[in-house]
Structure 1
Amino acid sequence: MRMTRSGAVLLCLVFPVVAWADDVLERAPVRAWHSLARLEATTLAFQPSAGVGTDEGFVQVDPTFILDGGAEFGISLGAPLRLRLWGGSGGTGLIRREDWDNLSDFGQVVRAFKLGSDNAPVGVWFGALESYSLLSAHLVRRYSNRLNPDYHPAGGFLTGTLGPLYTQAFASDVLGARLMGAEVVLDVQHVLFGQPPEPGRYTLALSAVHDWGRAGGRAPSVMLAHLDGTAVVKVSPGFEAHLLAGWGGRPGVGGAWGAVVGLGADALTPTLDLRLRLEVRRQHGGFRQGFFGPDYELARFRAAGADDVPVAEASFPDGYSAFSEAEVGWDAVSYGGLYKHLKLSLGVEAFSWGRFDVDGRVAAQFFARSLEVAVKGLAAGMGQPGARYLGAAEVRWRFLDGKLYALGTGGTLLFPTMEGALRPGAFASVGLGVDNAR
């Protein structure tokens, strides 16, 4: 209950949301071994904003190999290789240097690796973190470690269960000193009355997260901690409702604290997976819930808003906020894989002093899953000077019995510079792919 519904994202590589090949690692438990090979070739153009830099064009070759050993083991290997066609400053080579210019970038070769599962005493997962939340999610919520276009780390997390304790520890970059944290959850009912028939109904949790700021570009270090309590108040077949409350702060920073109360509901049927959460928050002294959020990999260099400084040093007004989150997965035929006919994820936070943050992704499949469309967007600091907007879209069309597909993507980017500024740009690509997913 607490482990699968609150924090274990496993292989939720949400965007591109509709790559069938990644479903192999999320099959129902089987004993047989399965493999899958995929190759994509696209033309790709990075287009910096007018007057800043030069346009660059590449041909991108993207191989993937997946080996599925059932519920307890799976591995996906491969990385995009971008070969320059035009553009770039003097001295640039054939391969895009920014994709492989530090140790962390070599983490992108591991797309996903899992060992163990939610039912095992210990589980390990490595790969790209997309919309990752650390259990109670009051420190790390909807975080992506690949938002910086020139930084391609492999993240990872470890889960473990020992009696009434459940723990999840994570690192945003397993090859560099970056964002690290852990949350320990205590099953109070287990401690007081012995092992319950339904674990995780009444819990206390302590989490702490620290950013060392030494990989993916230098940035100020920062640390936050949070204490949470959760009570499941309604359980019925396919439905769960819970209440929550918590308090957090920034160790070593006086007067930086925050409090939160809220409620959540999860519904699960053969065709629908629905999760809802609503919270009321109080922020004071520069602390805020969801500090390590969807735009953090850019905000660590320059926060959204009028302050021209990293988020660790930016002023954040005291006040209240209302946060809501919805995750919806629907499939007309009770499809057992990760990707559904419709998958929606949306988070919205409105602050009492006039700021709004929105982060969302939606993906849909049409025409017997032959056409796939995915859109994602991020808006941070709306209603205030210095708001930040990012968006992207992807379309895939499968033909020849699904073995061959055409794809097109496009969107906006922000490139961190050596000075800590964010250089705006855009990208677009079209190409073909082939695999044996069907």
Structure 2
Amino acid sequence: MPADALPTAAGEGGGWSSLLSLEASTLALVPRGGGGEPVGYAQLSPMLVVDGGGEWGLHVGAPVRLRLWGGEAGAGRVRKEDWDSLSDWGQVVRALKLGSEASVVALWVGAMEDYSLLSGHLVRRYSNRANPDYHPAGGYLTSSVGPLFVEVFSSDMLGARLVGAQAEVDLAHMLTGPLREPGRYTLGLSAVRDWGRAGGQSPQVTLAHVDGTAVVVVRPGFELHVLAGWGGRPDTAGAWGAVVGMGADALTPTLDMKLRLEVRRQRGGFRQGYFGPDYELARLSAVSRSGTPVTQAPFPEGLSAYGEAVVGWDGVRLGEVLQRHLHLSVGAEVFNWGRVDVDGRLAMQLAERSLEVAVSGLARGLGQPGARHLYLAEVRWRFGRRLYALAQGGTRLYPGADGTLSPVAFASLGMGVDDAR
């Protein structure tokens, strides 16, 4: 999630604004495949947003689920899986922003959705809450000093999980001094380690990657760049991968578009985007019939083609993430040995922004045994100044005590009230 992804209540600008809301809904979990019985909850979601302008903002609130029917005998009224670890208390902080892209140092803390670590060749489109029983607050810190830019992140600020960093050097700046157009030629080094000690025990793994990028076309509102990189697992002999590709960025007052196309080579179990949208599930049980964690599951050697598109459009002008008529984010990778991975999200605002509709999906291992499919649909309809209705439904995978993943269909329906100042 980008550092400025805080919902705003009173438009944009340098002044303070706030938003206070409460959502009340029902939540039904229906196990698929004949295992277990349906469970119903009443769900209360209080939320407070304070926006201090471009330099700081705070978004707090967490859902509390109260069991109405079903479930194990003797289960408490509050769903214990939502609060049974220190990391789960991180869900109270949805987003905390200190600083901006123009700051020498900036910090962001909260739920990570669709997060990529700079070049994205180790961490790409990652979600730290893909496991529905694990609700950490992640965070990242960025700093820019002269020709050096550094980003450090943690997927769990209260537990030992994913920790990594990437440092990039502006080569032209280092050799000739500051330029009018910085970042034309950069060299980067990244490293990420999963300590596997929060959100359920899992094997540890360390990856590293070197990246080079050159911007070859610069026009007002448009850039085209080429890239190349190499990475591996320092603790595993013969595990490495290489990548070459190109990307394009276009930015206008109403359109923000990023495109990328890459050709990749994998060997010995290493792959680019290793920490991806499915990782919080795959680290417990990989996409395969073996049911082993992704660090132990076999991954054939071969080539792949990867494509990604992120498009934001607004009929008036681009604003905060929640104020866009259309937002599309999709990534797909096709392997020469028969596997396809796809994930994406499409969100639209209709009827003068009173209706918000979003659909998302993730398909991993298409064409292979044990393929994984997850889907989600959301609708929010504002029919008054302060009142709105909401509905949500889809599928999830819930981890068991032995690490197996059980498919569950869910549906939620409710109402919300808010007050913006």
State the TM-score, normalizing by the size of structure 1.
0.94
* DSSP 3-state at the match of 2:391: strand
Give the conservation status (yes or no) of the 8 Å contact 2:28–2:38. yes
Shift of residue 23 of structure 1? 2.3
* DSSP 3-state at the match of 1:104: helix
Shift of residue 338 of structure 1? 1.6
Shift of residue 162 of structure 1? 1.2
Shift of residue 308 of structure 1? 2.2
Shift of residue 51 of structure 1? 2.9
For structure 2, list consecutive stretches of 5 or more residues without a partner in the other structure: none
What is the letter of the counterpart of residue 395 of structure 1? V
Q: Distance in 1 between matches of 2:282 and 2:333?
A: 17
The residue that corresponds to 1:354 in the other structure is: 338
Give the conservation status (yes or no) of the 8 Å contact 2:107–2:140. yes
Q: Which residue, out of 269, 272, 275, partners 2:252?
A: 269
**CA shift in 2, pair 1:27/1:238, >3 Å:** farther
What is the letter of the counterpart of residue 290 of structure 1? G
What is the letter of the counterpart of residue 150 of structure 2? T
Q: Distance in 2 between matches of 1:26 and 1:237?
A: 31
What is the letter of the counterpart of residue 371 of structure 1? L
Give the conservation status (yes or no) of the 8 Å contact 1:27–1:70. no
Give the conservation status (yes or no) of the 8 Å contact 1:11–1:26. no
Shift of residue 307 of structure 1? 3.1
Give the conservation status (yes or no) of the 8 Å contact 1:25–1:74. no
**CA shift in 2, pair 1:190/1:28, >3 Å:** farther
Give the conservation status (yes or no) of the 8 Å contact 1:25–1:75. no
Shift of residue 336 of structure 1? 2.0
Deviating beyond 4 angstroms after TM superposition, the runs of 4 or more aligned structure 1 residues are 25-29
**CA shift in 2, pair 1:437/1:322, >3 Å:** farther
C-alpha offsets along residues 149-204 of structure 1, whole Å, 9 cap, x if unaligned? 10000000000011111000000000000011000000100111011111111000
What is the letter of the counterpart of residue 371 of structure 2? A
Shift of residue 217 of structure 1? 0.3
Give the conservation status (yes or no) of the 8 Å contact 2:136–2:157. yes
Q: Which residue, out of 34, 43, 52, partners 1:51?
A: 34
Give the conservation status (yes or no) of the 8 Å contact 2:148–2:170. yes
Q: Distance in 2 between matches of 1:194 and 1:169?
A: 25
Q: Which residue, out of 46, 49, 67, partners 1:84?
A: 67
1:10 aligns with 2:3: yes
What is the letter of the counterpart of residue 323 of structure 1? Y
Give the conservation status (yes or no) of the 8 Å contact 1:26–1:338. no
What is the letter of the counterpart of residue 151 of structure 1? Y
The residue that corresponds to 2:101 in the other structure is: 118
1:218 aligns with 2:201: yes
The residue that corresponds to 2:294 in the other structure is: 311
1:24 aligns with 2:17: no
* DSSP 3-state at the match of 1:24: coil
What is the letter of the counterpart of residue 3 of structure 2? L
Q: Which residues in structure 2 correspond to 1:230-379 (within 5 Å)?
A: 230-339=213-322, 340-379=324-363
For structure 1, list consecutive stretches of 5 or more residues without a partner in the other structure: 1-7, 13-21
What is the letter of the counterpart of residue 383 of structure 1? G
What is the letter of the counterpart of residue 357 of structure 1? D
The residue that corresponds to 2:173 in the other structure is: 190
Q: Distance in 1 between matches of 2:337 and 2:113?
A: 29
The residue that corresponds to 1:4 in the other structure is: none
Q: Distance in 1 between matches of 2:163 and 2:4?
A: 19
Give the conservation status (yes or no) of the 8 Å contact 2:17–2:420. no
The residue that corresponds to 1:64 in the other structure is: 47
The residue that corresponds to 1:416 in the other structure is: 399
**CA shift in 2, pair 1:385/1:40, >3 Å:** same
Identity of aligned residues (%): 62
The residue that corresponds to 1:99 in the other structure is: 82
State the TM-score, normalizing by the size of structure 2.
0.98
The residue that corresponds to 2:378 in the other structure is: 394
**CA shift in 2, pair 1:165/1:332, >3 Å:** same
Q: Distance in 1 between matches of 2:131 and 2:11?
A: 31
Q: Distance in 2 between matches of 1:304 and 1:9?
A: 28
C-alpha offsets along residues 188-236 of structure 1, whole Å, 9 cap, x if unaligned? 0011101111111100000000000000000001110000000011111
Q: Distance in 2 between matches of 1:331 and 1:223?
A: 40
Give the conservation status (yes or no) of the 8 Å contact 2:364–2:372. yes
C-alpha offsets along residues 93-151 of structure 1, whole Å, 9 cap, x if unaligned? 11000000000000000010011111000000100000000000000000000110100
Shift of residue 9 of structure 1? 2.1
* Aligned pairs, number: 420
The residue that corresponds to 1:38 in the other structure is: 21
* DSSP 3-state at the match of 1:108: helix
Shift of residue 436 of structure 1? 2.5
